[in-house]
Amino acid sequence: MARVALDLLNETGLDGLTLRAIAKELDVKAPALYWHFKDKQALLDEMATEMVRGAAADLAGTPDADWQTSVTTAMRALRRMLLHYRDGAKVYSGTYFTDTSYAAPVEAQLRRLTEAGFTTGAAARALMTAMSYTIGYVIEEQASGPRPGAAGAEGAAGAAGADGEGYDLVARAERLKDYPLAAAAGEEMFRGYEDGFEAGLAAVVAGVGVTLLGPGARPV
């Protein structure tokens, strides 16, 4: 059922995803779904869990790699997972997993971090920081980028261009003509999401290494 909901998500987006729409897709009566999910949030919890089930091996990172490579690889996998679904980051954010599919990847990452010299608490904070960056980045990426069937529509972060390419930077620059630095920043903030993600992730990984890695850590 969660798989059907994820498939439907790509057609409707999060706002259009309802138990009634899922019931129609399954050719059952809507009340029948309440035997499985008490409300939409319970459904979202299961959908997020299903996402992780399908990506658990990639989220575990790179075996035998240093902690920087492992965390970086895992966050790239997390981003790919979220981008695979329309509004995927919003669905994933703030949900409660319904099983322990997430546990093995988390354990693998924490083990590499602690073996590199992080305390357990610092390792948890490092991983949570990288995850929070990735989820937040994708929420913004999906909100301000192109939307299926929404060419020319008003986006969450600004008007979409007539070509359907997402944020209209020409219109943005015109609105911000009295703020030249803010206007110029648009090209970096709302284009080249792949490069932007990589630059930010590198900064996060370097930052947690400087601020959270203990003085007795193994040299890297």
Over residues 65-99, the pLDDT tens digits come to 999 999 999 999 999 999 999 999 999 998 999 99
Enumerate residue ranges in the chain where pLDDT < 50: 148-164, 219-220
Give the whole-angstrom CA distance, residue 195 versus residue 199: 6
Residues 6 or more apart in contact with residue 13 via CB below 8 angstroms? 86, 87, 147, 148
Phi, psi (5° rounding) for residue 102? Answer: -75, -20
Q: Is residue 28 part of a domain?
A: no
Is residue 188, in this structure, part of any structural domain at all? yes
The model carries a pTM of: 0.83
**Domain limits at 194?**
57-144+176-212
Domain assignment present for 52? no
Residue 81 lies in a domain: yes
| CATH number for the domain that contains residue 67 | 1.10.357.10
Residue 117 lies in a domain: yes
Q: Which of 104, 103, 81, 105 is nearest to 93 (CA)?
A: 81
In a domain, 139, yes or no: yes
Q: What are the C-alpha distances in Å from 201 to residues 38, 71, 204?
A: 37, 9, 5
